[in-house]
Amino acid sequence: MTIRFGSLGCGRIVGRGLLPGIQACKKATLHAIASERPGVARETADKNGIPKAYDSYEALLADPEIQAVYVPCTGDQHKQWTIAAAKAGKHVLCEKPLALTVAEADEMATACLRAGVILQEAFMWRHHPRTKLAKKMVENGDIGELRLINASFSFDIDRTDWRLKPERGGGAMWDVGCYGVNCARHFTGAEPTHVYARAHWWPTGVDMTMQIALAFPGDVLANIDCSFETPYRCRAELVGTKGRIVLEEAFLPPAGTPLLYTTATEWAGKLDSIDIPPANEFGEEIDDFCRSIEAGKLVGPGEDGVANMRALEWILETAKMQPK
């Protein structure tokens, strides 16, 4: 079974992620693309061999041949178009963060449940074979009992970028810090019980840099940092009582990036390397999403987007309470 996708947008993430990803996956094809900028969808479709192009999202959603849609637009539009897609009977793969608030995420999840369609938040890194192997190693006790998770994601953003506008869902935590929070929730399989967060704020009101500390059941602690004003970093470390796993380029792994680990506990324990077969994490994500559609429920590394939103909202509220 091949799922026919439509994309509600032609932005950077579509060209960088969806287009090469869907070409790499086995279970889906990009059948249509839409843009609210006249002519852009047609140009993108012609350049990439996409059969259909629309100058409005409504027109794409009205296409009976489309079974699922990708929602890559800015965060302030996620709720509107996810609910519209659900009402049109389309399954929804929505970019992160799922919404601007927990209340919005709840509305989106409820609309999809009522319509009988699958809603998944697009954390592509969870679907990569390296992430799945790391998860299995943690669950098997290969590094003992998990005690500490360290995750960093940062880059120096263009100061004219829309992600510095709070009304559009901007801020370092929403854009890149959400990966670290998702990472901690994924490897613990639990929700945080305690939160500490502190931020450096941009004049528009968004966080430019944030430090986050989370506590989870089972005595697991997580340290997460994210930034829009520091050099590029993308790394996660899982530390157990008998070893540790290191994921360089944790959330955007280039082909050939290995999994590093050690089960040594002495001072200078050498990191061993496990080679990972080349994989496109966007393609793996789409294939897993299609399996969920076939099964009628989220399978594999199914993401509870509402729970992730709940953690993110708690973190942001905590950071805002700290003295500036």
Band of pLDDT at residue 1, cut at 50, 70 and 90: confident
135 & 73 share domain = no
Q: Confirm whether 25 is domain-assigned.
A: yes
Q: Is the peptide bond before 97 cis (omega within 30 degrees of 0)?
A: yes
* Crossing angle of helices 102-115 and 305-321, rounded to 10°: 170
CB atoms within 10 A of CB 51: 12
pLDDT tens, 31-84?
A: 999 999 999 999 999 999 999 999 999 999 999 999 999 999 999 999 999 999
Q: What is the pLDDT of residues 141-161, one digit of tens each?
A: 999 999 999 999 999 999 999
Its pTM stands at: 0.94
Q: What is the pLDDT of residue 244?
A: 96
Which amino acid belongs to residue 125? W
Domain that holds residue 147: 129-278
C-alpha 48/C-alpha 103 separation (Å) is: 37
Question: Does the structure show a pLDDT above 90 at 108?
Answer: yes
Do 94 and 220 fall into the same domain? no
User: For residue 74, what are the contacts with CB-CB under 8 A and spacing of at least 6?
Assistant: 162, 168, 169
Tell me the C-alpha to C-alpha distance, in Å, between residue 18 and each of 49, 86, 122: 14, 20, 11
Interval 289-313: pLDDT, tens: 999 999 998 886 667 899 999 999 9
The CATH number linked to 206 is 3.30.360.10
Single-letter amino acid, residue 178: C
- Per-residue DSSP letter, 266: S
**268: pLDDT strictly greater than 80:** no
Q: Is 224 in the same domain as 136?
A: yes
Structure-block tokens of residue 116: 């009988």
Has residue 203 been placed in a domain?
Answer: yes
DSSP 279-317: --HHHHHHHHHHHHHHHTS--SS---HHHHHHHHHHHHH
Q: Please provide the DSSP assignment of 112-177 as one string.
A: HHHHT--EEE--GGGGSHHHHHHHHHHHTTBTBSEEEEEEEEE----TTSGGG-GGGT-SHIIIII
In a domain, 321, yes or no: no
Give the pLDDT score at 302. 67
Domain count, the chain: 2
What's the confidence (pLDDT) of residue 71? 98
